[in-house]
Amino acid sequence: MRRMAPIFLVSLLLLAGCGSSSKSLQATSTGPSVASFKTAFATQKKTLTSLGNDVGAAVEGANRKTDVQLAKQFEGLATRATALAGSMAQLEPPTQFKVELSSLESALTQVAGTLRQIEAAAAAHDANAAKAGGEAIVTDAQQVKAIETTLSQKLGLPVGQ
């Protein structure tokens, strides 16, 4: 399990990202306002960044923890990812952002599932399963990052923050 730290670190970097972007937004005359959605999504982005940072901290400290401790830690991270996906689902986006938001929710649900797989691998002391989970979390994180970046750019929010 401890050899998985580099893979988790990569996933953290993909979730956290860097840089910024801005675009002007057109308000729609029907449905939820772009401004209110932008504000609500910006809050969720902060939660996403925090989750990514905490995954990174878990990875950095993995060599000082037992598999039982790691299982508990990744259980907590999975629970947070599930909650974040649920929070994203509660947002009310204007029509032009619905597809990206739904995709982001699905990608976060996948991340939560992968974190649960890693949790189970640690609890079972199964290095092969942990390796598979580590590889999957990288792919999952790339997907989350791509969707979050697209949505952030469309909203004129800083990318990766």
109 and 85 Cβ atoms separated by less than 8 Å: yes
Q: Which residues of 55-83 are buried (b: 16+ CB within 10 A; e: fewer)?
A: bbebbeebeebebeebbebbbebbebbbe
**pLDDT string in tens for the chain (161-residue length):** 555 544 444 444 445 444 334 334 444 455 789 999 999 999 999 999 899 778 777 777 776 888 999 999 999 999 999 999 999 999 999 999 999 999 999 999 999 999 999 999 999 999 888 878 878 887 888 898 899 999 999 999 998 55
Q: Is the pTM of this model over 0.75?
A: yes
Measured CA to CA, the distance from residue 37 to residue 69 in angstroms comes to: 38
C-beta neighbour count of 84 within 10 angstroms: 21
* Cα–Cα distance measured from residue 55 to residue 57, given in angstroms and rounded to the nearest whole number: 5
DSSP character at residue 124:
T
Domains of the chain with bracketed CATH: 2-13+34-155 (1.20.120)
